[in-house]
Amino acid sequence: LSVPQINRLLTHSLYCKQISKPWLEPQTQKPSRKNQLRMPSQSLFNKTVALLFSKRSTRTRLASETSISLLGGRALFLGKDDIQLGVNESLKDSARVIGGMTEGIFARVGDHAEIEELAKHSPVPVLNALSSLWHPTQTLADLLTLHEHAHLFSLPDPNVEPVQDYKNMETSIKSRKREKMLTSLPELRPLTVAYIGDSANVLHDMLVTYPRLGHTMRVASPAKYRAPPEVWKRVEELGCDKGIWWGEDPKEAVKGADVVFTDTWISMGQEAEKAQRLKDFEGYPGGANPNWKFMHCLPRKQDEVDDEVFYGPRSLVFPEADNRKWTTMATFDLFIGRWNSGEPLDLK
Ligand code: CP
Ligand code: NVA
């Protein structure tokens, strides 16, 4: 996604959240005529979205099923044990058949090549619900959460050396203002975002997104878990490398951090590596600036973060999880509901 597309999706997510709220709260009286008119877009009315999930999910599944219903459509959950795919039928044929009977596919796959194959052969839009390399809808929810909590991030401490020269960033906060892309979103100052842990799908999307929005990434991960070459290629193509510090020392990574992120050290499909991974990541949690906030895509395991932080006042993890719904709703509305309607968002 381009920066304008990201900003449009975030603004639209906030709009989806605000407009859906009156419809989700218990009604003690009949909604006024004005409120009856303010209902969520029904762009999925009479449409079906296939949720093609080969891995488990709580948030992504709930976000998609509930938001499709708010948009007036039907979600069709197709787990790996439900259909012929992978046992009696190829991805190519499945893409043609599922895409022939639905208006969009939201797919959670193992290897990233699987989603590329689906997109290549599907006649309808295919969106990524998580792959080995990327988790784009998570990044949208994280960004919406940061914008909504912009007031919590005080101005940078003058005694802390800036970790990045923002003037040289490709997309500065000024140019974002010029583009008038964040009109209804609370403005977020450029943040220093630390990520401590495994270089997996969630981090990869942060690497290709945050620097383009003017934020600096500081990552600590053991050298052997450094992001794979295809991710670095994309990071460089987008000019994001200038906004990324990468090392192995978590204490170094959290220097000047406004937000500290982590993700599981053992992603789905890596269960056999558990013992080695726990050993390699030992000692990874660390501390940061006085005002730092904590974020995690969930599900969380005890190894990555103590309860004290996870359930403490610094933690934004539950608003972050809730925002999966509104960002997914905005994504479905714009990319599936309005696809082929004369106002599509370019998917490339
Ligand atoms: N964060 C996330 O994608 O959670 P699920 O795996 O539960 O969908
Ligand atoms: N990296 C994790 C993210 C889960 C939402 C995984 O792939 O399992």
pLDDT tens per residue, range 95-115: 999 999 999 999 999 999 999
Q: SS3 string of 218-265? A: EEECCHHHCCCHHHHHHHHHCCHHHHEEEECCHHHHCCCCCEEEECCC
Active site amino acids: 297
Residues 179 and 303 both lie in one domain? yes
- Whole-number Å distance, alpha carbon 40 to ligand 2 midpoint, is 30
Query: Would 229 be classed as within a structural domain?
Result: yes
Residues 176 and 251 both lie in one domain? yes
Q: Which ligand is nearest to the CA of 225?
A: 2
Domain count, the chain: 2
Q: Which of 192, 162, 160, 166 is nearest to 293 (CA)?
A: 192
Contact 185, 149 (CB under 8 A): no
Residues 211 and 284 both lie in one domain? yes
Residues 31 and 162 both lie in one domain? no
Torsion of CA 250, 241, 235, 175, to 10 degrees: 110
Q: Choose the weakest-confidence range: 58-62, 239-243, 301-305.
A: 301-305
- Domain encompassing residue 218: 150-315
Question: CA 219 to CA 195: how far, in whole Å?
Answer: 5
- Whole-number Å distance, alpha carbon 225 to ligand 2 midpoint, is 15
Pocket test for ligand 1, best of 53, 55, 56, 60 (most atoms within 8 A of CB): 60
Residues 309 and 225 both lie in one domain? yes
* Residue with CA at minimum distance from ligand 2 atom 7: 267
pLDDT of residue 342: 60
For the cut 80, the answer to whether the pLDDT of residue 268 exceeds it is yes
Residues 240 and 277 both lie in one domain? yes
pLDDT band at 168 (very low <50, low <70, confident <90, very high): very low
- Whole-number Å distance, alpha carbon 211 to ligand 2 midpoint, is 22
- Summarised one tens digit per residue, pLDDT across range 178-233 is 324 334 689 999 999 999 999 999 999 999 999 999 999 999 999 999 999 999 99
Please identify, by atom number, the ligand 2 atom nearest to the C-alpha of residue 132.
7
Query: Would 346 be classed as within a structural domain?
Result: no
Q: Choose the weakest-confidence range: 230-234, 241-245, 255-259.
A: 255-259
CATH number assigned to the domain comprising residue 117: 3.40.50.1370
Query: Would 139 be classed as within a structural domain?
Result: no
Residues 127 and 190 both lie in one domain? no
Please identify, by atom number, the ligand 2 atom nearest to the C-alpha of residue 269.
8
For the cut 80, the answer to whether the pLDDT of residue 24 exceeds it is no
ipTM above 0.90, yes or no: yes
Residues 244 and 119 both lie in one domain? no
Q: Which of 99, 88, 16, 11 is nearest to 52 (CA)?
A: 99
Residues 54 and 118 both lie in one domain? yes
pLDDT of residue 194: 95
Residues 79 and 174 both lie in one domain? no
* Residue with CA at minimum distance from ligand 2 atom 6: 267
* Residue with CA at minimum distance from ligand 2 atom 8: 267
Query: Average pLDDT, stretch 129-135?
Result: 98
Query: Would 294 be classed as within a structural domain?
Result: yes
Residues 100 and 171 both lie in one domain? no
Ligand 1 proximity of 325 Cβ (cutoff 6 Å): no
Query: Would 347 be classed as within a structural domain?
Result: no
For the cut 90, the answer to whether the pLDDT of residue 174 exceeds it is no
Residues 242 and 297 both lie in one domain? yes
* Residue with CA at minimum distance from ligand 1 atom 3: 60
CA distances from 139 to 70, 271, 286, 335 (A): 22, 24, 22, 17
pLDDT of residue 153: 87
Query: Would 342 be classed as within a structural domain?
Result: no
Query: Would 140 be classed as within a structural domain?
Result: no
Ligand 1 proximity of 58 Cβ (cutoff 6 Å): yes
Query: Would 348 be classed as within a structural domain?
Result: no
Please identify, by atom number, the ligand 2 atom nearest to the C-alpha of residue 268.
8
- Whole-number Å distance, alpha carbon 201 to ligand 2 midpoint, is 7
Contact 322, 148 (CB under 8 A): no
